Amino acid sequence: MKRVLITGAGGGIGRSLRETLRGVYPILRLSDRVALAPAREGEEVDRTELSDMPAVEQMVAGVDGIIHLGGISGENEWPVILEGNIIGLYNVFEAARRAGVQRIVFATSNHAVGFYPRAQKIDHRVVPRPDSRYGVSKAFGEALASLYSDKHGIGVLCTRIGNFGEKPIDKRRLSIWISPRDYTQLVRIGLEHPDIRYEIVYGVSNNRRSWYDNSNAARLGYRPQDDSEPYADAVLAAEAGQPADAIAEHYQGGTFCAAEYTAKTPRP
Contact residues for ligand 15L (CB under 6 A)? 73-74, 109-111, 163, 173
Q: Are 81 and 134 in contact (CB under 8 A)?
A: yes
The length of the chain is: 268
Nearer to ligand 15L, 39 or 248 (CB): 248
CB of 208: closest distance to ligand 15L in angstroms?
A: 18
CB of 254: closest distance to ligand 15L in angstroms?
A: 7
Nearer to ligand 15L, 36 or 112 (CB): 112
Nearer to ligand 15L, 101 or 179 (CB): 179
CB of 252: closest distance to ligand 15L in angstroms?
A: 9
H or E element in which residue 56 lies: helix 53-60
CB of 15: closest distance to ligand 15L in angstroms?
A: 14
Q: What is the DSSP string of the chain?
A: --EEEEETTTSHHHHHHHHHTTTTSSEEEEEESS--PPP-TTEEEEE--TT-HHHHHHHHTT-SEEEE--S--S---HHHHIIIIIIHHHHHHHHHHHHT--EEEEEEEGGGSTTSBTTS-B-TTSPP---SHHHHHHHHHHHHHHHHHHHH--EEEEEEE-EESSS--SHHHHHHEE-HHHHHHHHHHHHH-TT-SEEEEEE----TT--B--HHHHHTT------SGGGHHHHHHHHTT----HHHHHBTTTHHHHTT---SS---
Q: Which of 134, 183, 222, 251 is catalytic?
A: 134
Nearer to ligand 15L, 73 or 205 (CB): 73
Nearer to ligand 15L, 31 or 163 (CB): 163
134 is catalytic: yes
Known catalytic residues?
134
